Structure 1
């Protein structure tokens, strides 16, 4: 079997297991999904080298949290999400796929015009661990070019598709001037699996704390549940005193002792 098919199946099995563990209702389910997750991780270990731990939250004493969206822009769901963010007066971060930026540059412009941050999420959403250096550079460059054509600059933030990468990928991405933004592991909501709006709202309410990075998706399929989750959970978190931020780049570089930089290259 080709390596990409093995990784594809192993990753799919793994995320299904993770989703099951996230929303499991009893101990038997936890055991079953735990076994499945271990098997998937063992399969992926043959293709994923060990790498440094990347930050999964943003330490701060200001009750800041970071709501992020991957895989857009989408002509149906991204505007609906933007409408809600505007309604509540908050800013977030969107990680954009280059091929979708090419199709919907006007949505990227709206994202920027309304004060949100953007990041590179590759052009075609590949498994980075299977790409050689030339292929990865092409994925990054084509996305930068698409975003630059849409809004006049290329972003500094980067998020790896599926969260899969190795140390070589990290080194290459950083050498190109990107800051990598992952997400808090408890906040991969698996919204693409339709876990239910109430389940997602409950989980976000229960686990959000200062510095949390929440991962949702505005593109890649039917995102009706995601839109409804945003509509319900944002006012609840605002009532609890959380502040939605889009300054990850500045916070991250200050945390590591670097001079704070802008959001574009």
Structure 2
């Protein structure tokens, strides 16, 4: 559900004051089950403050338990990326984004960062956001609370070790929406808000770059959060045309931090 204007204004001061670089994104890697909404998706109220100090941003808890998109009154769009896959393709994609003047959010998988630790600083040093997409990218909606907490916390601590903070955002793996169990465990780790999306590029199905461009631009609106992926050549080829299409509509690609500030 869209974040209403009142929630956005309430959150703005706190978010602008100090969000740590975080990241975006991805639609789930399994086509059907991954995209099905789980119970308790986007309308939940925030959970209480985290039980332990984790480096979450001040004021972040005033946002809803899940964000699908931002208010539609500003010409900003968040391109969010599932951080996994071939590191060479990831670097090529980041270079294309930076040539186009875009800042994005990368939701990194912990095991990927273990294999490619330099990517954490590569993302942040270029002005992008880096966030948590679980340690192993398994279906978190089917986990027990203990298992879900372990998946989120392991990735959070890996990001903290590499960057000094866990980042401000979390995106659940293998499901578009965070149910009540996922939101509760994310909150325990230090993520009061989970990030979903309202535009699924379907790039992980490898339909070819023209299809990725069409699918994305046919759905995107001001305030949209777009799900994209590292590790796919078609996505690299699609980025330039997507950024051109956004510019033609007067839209700017920004980080989640900027979108919600």
- TM-score category (smaller protein): 0.7 to 0.9
Q: 1:57 to 1:13 in 2, by over 3 A?
A: closer
Q: 1:142 to 1:56 in 2, by over 3 A?
A: same
In structure 2, runs of 5+ residues without a counterpart are 1-28, 44-65
Please name the residue that 2:141 is paired with.
129
More off after superposition, 89-98 vs 192-201: 192-201
Where do 1:1-265 residues align within 5 Å?
12=30, 14=32, 48-53=38-43, 54-72=66-84, 74-162=86-174, 163=176, 165-178=178-191, 179-184=193-198, 187-219=199-231, 223-246=232-255, 248-249=256-257, 252=260
CA displacement, residues 180-235 of structure 1 (integer Å, 9 cap, x when unaligned): 11110xx212212122211221222222210111111104xxx0001111122112
Displacement, 1:249? 4.2
Distance 1:198 1:232 in 2: 9
Q: Secondary structure at the match of 2:247?
A: helix
Displacement, 1:177? 2.3
In structure 1, runs of 5+ residues without a counterpart are 1-10, 19-40, 255-265
The total of aligned residue pairs comes to 209
CA displacement, residues 165-189 of structure 1 (integer Å, 9 cap, x when unaligned): 42122122123321211110xx212
More off after superposition, 112-121 vs 140-149: 140-149
Q: Larger C-alpha radius of gyration, 1 or 2? A: 1
Q: Aligned Cα RMSD in Å?
A: 2.4
Distance 2:69 2:31 in 1: 26
Distance 1:130 1:154 in 2: 24
Distance 1:205 1:13 in 2: 20
TM-score between the two structures when normalised by the length of structure 2: 0.72
Greater fraction helix: 1
Please name the residue that 1:8 is paired with.
none
CA displacement, residues 14-54 of structure 1 (integer Å, 9 cap, x when unaligned): 269x7xxxxxxxxxxxxxxxxxxxxxx6xx9xxx5444534
Q: 1:236 to 1:249 in 2, by over 3 A?
A: closer
Q: Secondary structure at the match of 2:201?
A: coil
Specify which structure has the bigger relative contact order, considering alpha-carbon pairs within 8 angstroms and separated by 6 or more residues. Answer: 2
